[in-house]
Structure 1
């Protein structure tokens, strides 16, 4: 309940980039679509917690019409990201209706679903849910595991169901002080995601400026040190990208450690994973 000066109600400027209700268009080729503002579980670090569970903010056909019309009218949009709220908290019938509407827009090629359901309600991942999300569109499911203790036999079954349906599985984690801010904890999480669940660690988020979360934010320097240590311990496929979602709509920017020590023309000095600095000369054709 303790707020700190500088924390924000809308840390990544969703509202500023919302041309119609229930849609955010921050990047040229993709949009966020909010079919519901309800979740299976509520995370206190959520950067959208000011918008969640408000009365009248569940799913209805009418509520989504302006957003779907906007997507249809903008041929540059290739990717629609279902978020919220948690889209997989909706019933199969609603998911099938949303999928069909988006699939009918010819220029949309990929549907991305951001969800914590495989973590907190894995029994929701059923054959009916999978069927509601299959068709022309490529489907990517982005899960949200923050600690290896969240990986159970039930979550393993849920992720296998999604994989076998042909969906691409990625994971976003939040770096949380006192929860997962050790290299051993993050290493175990990333290994188990990839090796046990078949889920690619995608992003490790620096804590957003959500209200009341100062006690769970690390410093950026601490996050950089952790991700540099991870890089030396894990294969590339197990490594997430450490990012900061900038206020005022600046988007996610990588803030991991830089291995460039210096440059003189085509001669570079780069720090290897063993800590040694080596020279590298660019050789390119005319």
Structure 2
């Protein structure tokens, strides 16, 4: 039993598919099949149930996977720790996030401070994030909704109000506040199920026993304000984004609900090794968002945007 066999087994067990595991490992499929067969022969038990060309991890395989993941994770952590100690490179940080919009300044600042560190960003839903943390594909997840699980720890970065945005010609554009019930028939532009904007919207409407009317649904939250400004519907946007959109013709309103907020958290596996590069990123993220107002009221900021953005 060698490390290569264990890595092959882990890839097949996670995907329950020989061909996809081979693609991930960048090796030929027959090589993976032979390795799994040798491993099963050595252990004296079958690790997968086979039904034609389909395979499923059985109870022996599931028990073995738990041990294998623990062993390989420890070895990967040891490799990263030794690289840090030896100063072999400036390291790398991988971050999964639901949206890159609130991170642009942080990422730019980190790159300027640590130009030798490679930063990789992945766009993921919370469900995918949990799996990425479990498999140690990422060092951190930056989530806009609770992300919990065994061994996960979170640091709150930002707690802010989420505002309603409407086109400047909309009847609500002259309002300062609005209730959720008043929005029952309004078409919303939002993200797909699983993303924080959609989760928040569904939660607000559950509170009034209704479902929101969805006019446009997708996985690109950064396009919401453009679609709203074009008159295709209304949407929910974090208060933090308003300063970044001074010339977009929108009206911004408070929603009369204490739940209309977003909490941005930095999440990691607490049992994994924290590299020097990752520790620097964590500290910079905490310092960056500490400088921003937490859940600040926008009462004094809801004024017409430049270029005739309407009244709120």
TM-score band, normalised by the shorter chain?
A: under 0.3
TM-score normalised by L of structure 2 = 0.24
TM-score normalised by L of structure 1 = 0.26
Please identify which structure carries the higher helix content.
2
Q: Which of 1 and 2 has higher RCO (CA within 8 Å, sep 6+)?
A: 2
Larger Rg: 2
